[in-house]
């Protein structure tokens, strides 16, 4: 695992240096969908990361946001998001991260999320705890939902059903101290892990968005599940994370809104 850690740190550092050097520039942008964009720097950063990981572990699979899947020959798989927060980056908004995780089959072994602007590296090893720049971190002790700070994000179909996603935001404003929307799910998860946030939810994230951050939350003492409290699936569409104390309240909030929308619209499923 030491070799994997070194490879992940090296890959994140090199990709992060590229992002830090380029984020103030005018970006070369293309669109994968109406609001889902990608920059040339995304692809350059991903090539750096994938190259380092493949050289170190040629038998490992790699699932990266902008590249074809590399199949595993030994049941190990890397999840790579070279730039989580691309919209922020493209606008010069300084909140984005590199996210790298390693799994064996379905068990996450290593997670690393690097914020190159703040020079913050969140890391976790299965069974080894979570750290920020090498120092141990843990989730918050907030137990009263009305005093909690939550975060969320909106998926790429938000223009088609803004009322659906905003209904959860609106109810969270009623029940909690406040809600944040930063544009980087990987950092939101790490902020839950470090106690800066008390809980987080989002629809339709991808494995490269959540893999590293989920392990950091779990190793920091928090909980990650789907919206019904079942085990979180990297391939699933529901991510709920909390300090553990507030998980029931978070799921109740989501469930209450889904029930209300279901009675209003005839369906509890997102668009």
pLDDT in tens, the chain (271 residues): 789 999 999 999 999 999 999 888 776 766 655 555 567 888 999 999 999 999 999 999 999 977 778 888 899 999 999 999 999 999 999 999 999 999 999 999 999 999 999 999 999 999 999 999 999 999 999 999 999 999 999 987 767 778 999 999 999 999 999 999 999 999 999 999 999 999 999 999 999 999 999 999 999 999 999 999 999 999 999 999 999 999 999 999 999 999 999 865 444 556 6
* Number of neighbouring beta carbons within 10 Å of residue 160: 10
**What CATH number was assigned to the domain covering residues 145-265?**
3.40.190.80
Which pTM value belongs to this model? Answer: 0.93
Q: Are domains 2-136 and 145-265 of this chain identical in fold?
A: no
**What CATH number was assigned to the domain covering residues 2-136?**
3.30.540.10
Is 221 in a helix, a strand, or coil?
A: coil
240 contact partners, CB below 8 Å, separation of at least 6: 199, 200, 201, 224, 225, 226, 227, 232, 247, 250, 251, 254
Cα separation, 28 vs 13, whole angstroms = 22
Parse the chain into domains and list their residue ranges. 2-136, 145-265
> Which tokens belong to 94?
């300084």
Strand partners, 55: none
Cα separation, 87 vs 210, whole angstroms = 17
Could you tell me which of 81, 108, 55 has the C-alpha nearest to residue 217? 108
> Which tokens belong to 64?
């990266």
């Amino acid at each position: 695992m030491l070799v994997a850690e070194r490879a992940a740190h090296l890959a994140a550092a090199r990709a992060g240096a590229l992002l830090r050097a380029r984020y103030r520039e005018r970006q070369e942008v293309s669109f994968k969908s109406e609001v889902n964009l990608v920059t040339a720097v995304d692809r350059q950063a991903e090539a750096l990361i994938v190259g380092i990981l493949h050289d170190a572990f040629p038998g490992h699979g790699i699932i990266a946001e902008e590249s074809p899947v590399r199949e595993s020959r030994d049941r190990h798989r890397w999840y790579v998001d070279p730039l989580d927060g691309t919209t922020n980056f493209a606008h010069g908004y300084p909140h984005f991260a590199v996210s790298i995780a390693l799994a064996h089959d379905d068990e996450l072994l290593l997670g690393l999320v690097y914020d190159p602007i703040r020079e913050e590296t969140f890391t976790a090893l299965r069974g080894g705890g979570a750290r920020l720049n090498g120092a141990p971190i843990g989730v918050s002790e907030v137990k009263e939902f009305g005093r909690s700070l939550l975060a969320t994000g909106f998926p790429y179909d938000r223009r088609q059903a803004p009322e659906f996603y905003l209904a959860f935001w609106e109810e969270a404003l009623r029940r909690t101290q406040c809600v944040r929307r930063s544009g980087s799910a990987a950092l939101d998860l790490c902020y839950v892990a470090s106690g800066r946030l008390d809980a987080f939810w989002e629809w339709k994230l991808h494995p490269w968005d959540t893999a590293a951050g989920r392990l950091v939350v779990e190793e920091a003492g928090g909980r990650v599940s789907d919206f019904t409290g079942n085990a979180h699936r990297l391939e699933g569409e529901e991510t709920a994370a909390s300090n553990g104390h507030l998980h029931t309240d978070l799921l109740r909030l989501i469930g209450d809104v889904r029930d209300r929308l279901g009675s209003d619209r005839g369906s509890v499923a997102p668009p």
